[in-house]
Amino acid sequence: MKVSKEQVRENRTRIVKTASELFRERGFDGVGVAELMSAAGLTHGGFYKHFGSKADLMEEAMSCGFTRSADTTAGVDREKFIEYYLSRQHRDNRGKGCVMSALGTDTARQSESIKATFAAGLERQLDVLSHAGNTDGPTRAELIDTIAHLVGALVLSRACPDNSALADEILDVCRTRLITQNVREA
């Protein structure tokens, strides 16, 4: 049975969205093609009709995650962004959370093209955040500093046991300091 072009596009989109979540949840090496296709409700054999390799899908899935993140944070107040980013909800929902904190260390061990996709996503996020909230927004250096602190804090918190006091303390301390710093800069 022949599949329509529209159905092919819908299947590819479903694969990319599924991969984006699974890669953020388990890392690039934590998800196999067969498992990914099954999670997308498709057969393993159809993967190579859509992608030349798993690396091709990794790039597209990462880009999809960055796009979703940029869309979600566009226009959001910087303080509200910090509060959500360093919340327990965001920490515990890795598959729907930030690409940078979920895949940053994995990306460092990937090809230059995957690193370039990551860098392009980071640039887009910096651009979105520079226009969020007010017209006298933070400088690029301030945004890079903030993102580095946010990502680092979330990575450290996730690396601790789920219910440890230290995991929550990292989020609380960094959230308070970043918000206090944000108020001083405003």
Q: How many domains does the chain have?
A: 1
* pLDDT, average across residues 66-88: 91
Q: How confident is the model at residue 135 (pLDDT cuts 50, 70, 90)?
A: low
What is the model's pLDDT at position 186?
57
pTM: 0.90
CA distance 113 to 79: 33
pLDDT tens-digit readout, 80-96? 999 999 999 999 999 99
Q: For the domain that residue 135 is a member of, what is the CATH number?
A: 1.10.357.10
Structure tokens at 19: 């991969």
| Long-range pairs for 84-90: beta carbons < 8 A, 24 or more residues apart | 85/150, 85/154, 86/150, 86/153, 86/154, 86/157, 86/171, 86/174, 86/175, 86/178, 87/171, 87/175, 88/168, 88/171, 90/154
Where in the sequence is the domain holding 93, given as residue range(s)?
Answer: 5-185
pLDDT tens-digit readout, 6-35? 998 999 999 999 999 999 999 999 999 999
Say if residue 126's pLDDT is above 80: yes
End-to-end CA distance of the chain: 61
Say if residue 42's pLDDT is above 70: yes
Q: How confident is the model at residue 131 (pLDDT cuts 50, 70, 90)?
A: confident
What is the model's pLDDT at position 132?
67
Computed over every residue of the chain, the mean pLDDT equals 92
Structure tokens at 39: 């999670």
